[in-house]
Amino acid sequence: MSTDAIVLLKEDHKEMRRLFREFQDAQDGPPKRRQNLVNQILEALTVHTYLENEVMYPEVRRLLPDLEDDILESYEEHHVADVLCAELATMDADDERFVAKTTVLIENVTHHVEEEEQEWFPKVREALGRKQLQEIGERMLALRPDAPRTPTAPKALKKALDAVTA
Ligand SMILES: [Fe+2]
Ligand SMILES: [Fe+2]
């Protein structure tokens, strides 16, 4: 199994896209199914953005100062996703705004993931060595079991709040 940071993050993105498609297919079906898929989406996003914010983004910012603007934009995009995730976590699947809010979340994250994969991952891959990317990936794997799994977990809320107050 590869520990390359970009490979690991892309695997997460792939799983997110799969969940997004499943939600889109299920959005007019039973509320229970919608709820179940949104729970899975919230967990996947909470873990992923935590690992990027704690390990990948600060490391890239430190090693590649030229990418600072991309990183700052990414933090803001994560923050928008954090707010939507926290709101969705308190909503019922039969709320009239549930599907609309999930759709906006999916649109935002899809845009963000495309920018990561098409714009800055290639720059990072070019600038950092294989060994450096493996070390970053190993740090993310080590931190993963401690990552928050729901948007309302203390560590996830702290991240959302730090973005406003830092
Ligand atoms: Fe991201
Ligand atoms: Fe990502």
pLDDT by 10s per residue, the chain, length 166: 899 999 999 999 999 999 999 999 999 999 999 999 999 999 999 999 999 999 999 999 999 999 999 999 999 999 999 999 999 999 999 999 999 999 999 999 999 999 999 999 999 999 999 999 999 999 999 999 999 999 989 889 888 778 777 6
What is the Å distance from ligand 1's center to 113 Cα? 6
How many angstroms is it from 136 CA to the middle of ligand 1?
15
Q: How many CA atoms does the CB half-sphere of 72 hold within 13 Å?
A: 6
Are 18 and 98 a contacting pair, CB within 8 Å?
A: no
Whole-model pTM: value is 0.95
Distance from the alpha carbon of residue 67 to the mean position of ligand 2, in angstroms: 15
Closest ligand to the CA of 8? 2
Q: How many A from CA of 115 to the centre of ligand 1? A: 9
CA separation for the pair 17, 37 (Å, rounded): 12
Helix then strand count (H, E) for the chain reads 8, 0
Q: Collect residues with CB below 5 Å from ion ligand 1.
A: 52
> What is the rounded distance in angstroms from the CA atom of residue 134 to the CA atom of residue 123?
16
Ion ligand 2, residue ranges at CB < 5 A:
116
Packing angle, helices 154-165 and 68-89, rounded to 10? 130
CA of 30 to the centre of ligand 1 (A): 30
Can you give the pLDDT at residue 14?
A: 98
Structure tokens at 105: 């979340």
Q: What pLDDT is attached to residue 102?
A: 98
d(CA 146, CA 68): 27
